[in-house]
Amino acid sequence: MPGVLYRTIRAVCAVVGRLLFRIEVSGLEHLPRAADGRPAGGWIACGLPHRTWAEPFVLLFTLPARPRIVMLGEGPTMFGSPWRALLVRRVGGAIPVWPGSGARGYRHVAGAVERVIGAGAIFSIFPEVGPPSRPPALRRLSPGVARLAQRGAAPVVPIIFGGTHDLYLRRRIIVRILPATPPPSPDADARALDAWLAGLLADAQAAADETHAAADASPPRRRWWRWLHGPFPRAG
């Protein structure tokens, strides 16, 4: 059972998140479940887009408390402050990627992800790479997500966020969970992995178009606390 500190931090995150924003979630029925109906692990949560600090924060309390969530992220960002390090370690877990780690770093990450999936936890990744894109356009996806899904034989569940490109108090944020995408076959070559990745991006882009339009459908006359957006440059 989850410990007291774990449950407390998740509850505080949920309360703070819903005080700051108006969050609407759909598609929870698409989350993998065990035969007895309880939430199951062993899959990859693929968050798109990643424009601000808000998406990982919202993801943490959108998904069930169990199984645990283990996030992939930039080491300096995840552990750059004591409160972020505490949040990552206590609410879920972290697989940090450190600048300059190269091929050795990838092997370490891939092995860690395989252990997470094998242990029945949920691995979370925000796989966009490249320069900022203008909403609702998504950036290109790292081929690493295809290789990690193939290696772990793990289905990928796209989780799409709308409205996070411009944050302010009581901002409407739309979260849409899409049906799981089966992993690439074990013998898929580079061309097949590229095709799998293109299909994932196409499905995600269609949902991103819809969630962006829904989140911006009725903008307020005044936008308070614009500082909530922070310095993130991922909306060009």
Residue 54 lies in a domain: yes
pLDDT at residue 128, as a whole number: 95
Residue 155 lies in a domain: yes
- Above 70 in pLDDT, residue 2? no
- Above 70 in pLDDT, residue 87? no
Tens digits of residue pLDDT in 118-131: 999 999 999 999 99
Q: How many whole angstroms separate alpha carbon 188 and alpha carbon 194?
A: 10
Mean pLDDT score of the chain: 89
Residue 234 lies in a domain: no
Residue 191 lies in a domain: yes
Residue 108 lies in a domain: yes
Tens digits of residue pLDDT in 134-151: 999 999 999 999 999 999
Number of domains in the chain: 1
Instruction: Report CA-CA distances (Å) from 191 to 20, 143, 158, 227, 232.
Output: 44, 11, 21, 43, 33
Supply the range of the domain harboring residue 141: 4-229
Residue 221 lies in a domain: yes
pLDDT at residue 174, as a whole number: 97
Tens digits of residue pLDDT in 22-80: 999 999 999 999 999 999 999 999 999 999 989 988 998 888 888 988 888 776 666 66
Q: How many whole angstroms separate alpha carbon 150 and alpha carbon 225?
A: 42
- The pair of structure tokens assigned to 69 is 């969530």
CATH number of the domain at 183, please. Answer: 3.40.1130.10
Q: Which residues contact 73 (CB under 8 A, 6 or more apart)?
A: 56, 88, 94, 95, 96, 97, 126
Residue 58 lies in a domain: yes
Residue 235 lies in a domain: no
Kindly report the pTM of this predicted structure: 0.91
